[in-house]
Chain A
Amino acid sequence: MRRRRPGPRAEPAADPARGIELRGVGHSYGERTVLAGLDLQLTEHRIGVIGANGSGKSTFARLLNGLVQPSAGQVLVDGLDTATQLRAVRRRVGFVFQDPDAQIVHPTVAEDVAYGLENQGVPPAERAERVAAVLERYGLAGHADHPAHLLSGGQKQLLAIAGVLVMRPARIVFDEPTTLLDLVNARRVAQVVAELQQQVVVVTHQLDLLDGFDRVLVVDCGRVVADDAPAPAVAAYLALMAGR
């Protein structure tokens, strides 16, 4: 039996100028409402999301590439609905998790980076070239055949980022990417985020990570309570937390 040759899928028509849109979005886990009444259009290059633990930040992040589907309303990425055009959305929106150990799925470094490309049906020669390039870029080239579990925490987070970037998504969502890292590695990851050409949405507790961002959302009790430039948004967040 001849194997079907892999190849890029036909992408549905999309409008990158529209960015990420949330229209009347809400989300509940059973009876517990974690997000409600979100109407936002995210077109800026770097967007931060801050809020207390349990405020709904991580659910918000997961809505943006369809890992979580809204209980109410619509999430659109470049005009594509996360509910009905999920694969196309996920090709456009990469996701970096807080714990890289959960994101690394192959035993060795290069194989893990290649995983997303295999899923996309990228031919082996191009795959090898792209993997080598991204490992070089993040200082992991010397670890290509090393077991992933032997990397340091910072290297694992860089590997997780490399595994997403190699897929060339137009937008990347980071869910607390520096929380588990020491200062040096947190700075390294912050630098990586700052250098990205893609649109980035970063959920974080590390407020200095937001320096140079274009827009910061403050989430509290499932609602966006402040939406501003970093300085006023952080001030609003600190004032909110001071009252608790």
Chain B
Amino acid sequence: MTALALYVRGTSPVHRSPAGLKLLALAGLSVLLFAVPTVPVAAGALAAVLAVGVVAARLPVALLARQVRAVWVWLVALAVVTAIVGGVASAALVTLRLLALVLAAAVVTATSRVSELVAVVERLCAPLRLVGVRPARIGLLIALTLRFIPLVAERADRVREAQAARGGTVRGVRALVTLVVPLLVQVLQLAHTTAEALDARGADDDEARSGRMRG
């Protein structure tokens, strides 16, 4: 499972909580951690996040560990630089704070479906209707982005393999150009067909879509 598709099916109170509430809590935690920059608060926040994620939401520890592994290089680099510049206490604060936020975000995405998170974004964007923006389109844009990142990565791998199979180099600027051009062509073709698919599946029914993704 990739970082883009973290959702873990469950029936815990955390899973059942509205996605908007979870996002609000995440935002509140971020504000708290930066408004009260002390090690005890950061450590307490980290402990609370772990309690919510592992105990209340019953998420696998391995899943949370994967999220930390994805950013550990940055965590270590940041800790080292901060320790040199501001001392060990500052490094501990920065590391604990970042760790708490990364894990809190992981808990939110692991307990909320993409459609629920997108629905929150759509609700937040609702006032933009006044200036002619369609919130449903913004939601669709987010969903499509999440869907197509792994797909484009997969297509890039295919192009690389095709180049390698024909003796192409896999290094240097030339390799990058020979990767980007065919990939761009493929992505444009994919985008064209996807646009057709969206039409075929009723993406233009905007009035009905005003109430989408709430189930």
Contacts and interface: CB of A to CB of B under 8 A. Distances in A.
Interface of A: 1, 3-7, 9, 62, 65-67, 87, 90-91, 94-95, 97, 99, 101-108, 111-112, 114-116, 118-121, 123-125, 127-128, 144-150, 163-164, 167
Contacts of A91: 202
B161 interface: no
Contact of B208 (A9, A145, A149): A9
Contacts of A3: 126, 210-211
B137 interface: no
Contacts of A116: 201-202
Given A90-B199, A108-B7, A121 B205 contact: yes
Q: Please list the 5 inter-chain residue pairs (A to B) with the smallest Cβ-Cβ separation, ordered nearest first.
A: A124-B215, A121-B208, A6-B211, A119-B202, A147-B5
Contacts of A101: 151, 190
B193 A97 contact: yes
Interface residues of B, number: 41
Contacts of A114: 115, 215
Best-buried of A65, A108, A115 by chain B (most CB within 10 Å) = A115
A107 B143 contact: yes
B208 A105 contact: no
A11 to B, nearest CB: 13
A6 B147 contact: no
Given A102-B197, A107-B146, A4 B115 contact: no
Interface of B: 1-2, 4-5, 7-9, 113-115, 126, 140, 143-144, 146-147, 150-151, 154, 190, 193-194, 196-205, 207-215
A107 B197 contact: no
Given A9-B205, A124-B215, 13 more contacts: A3-B210, A4-B210, A91-B202, A103-B197, A105-B147, A112-B147, A121-B205, A121-B211, A123-B215, A147-B1, A147-B5, A149-B151, A150-B5
A148 B149 CA distance: 12
Most chain B CB atoms below 10 A, which of A3, A124, A147, A164: A147
B212 A107 contact: no
A5 B196 contact: no
B208 A119 contact: yes
30 contacts: A3-B210, A6-B210, A6-B212, A9-B208, A66-B199, A67-B200, A90-B199, A90-B200, A95-B197, A99-B190, A99-B193, A101-B190, A102-B193, A103-B194, A105-B198, A106-B143, A107-B143, A111-B113, A111-B114, A112-B147, A119-B205, A119-B212, A121-B209, A124-B214, A145-B7, A147-B150, A149-B147, A149-B151, A163-B201, A164-B201
Contacts of B151: 101, 149
A127 to B, nearest CB: 5
Contacts of B146: 107
Nearest to B196: A67
A6 B143 contact: no
A145 B202 contact: no
A34 B89 CA distance: 72
Contacts of A65: 200
Contact of B196 (A9, A97, A128, A146): A97
Contacts of A94: 200
B5 A107 contact: yes
A92 to B, nearest CB: 11
Interface centre among B115, B198, B200, B215 (most CB of A within 10 A): B200
B117 to A, nearest CB: 11
A67 B198 contact: no
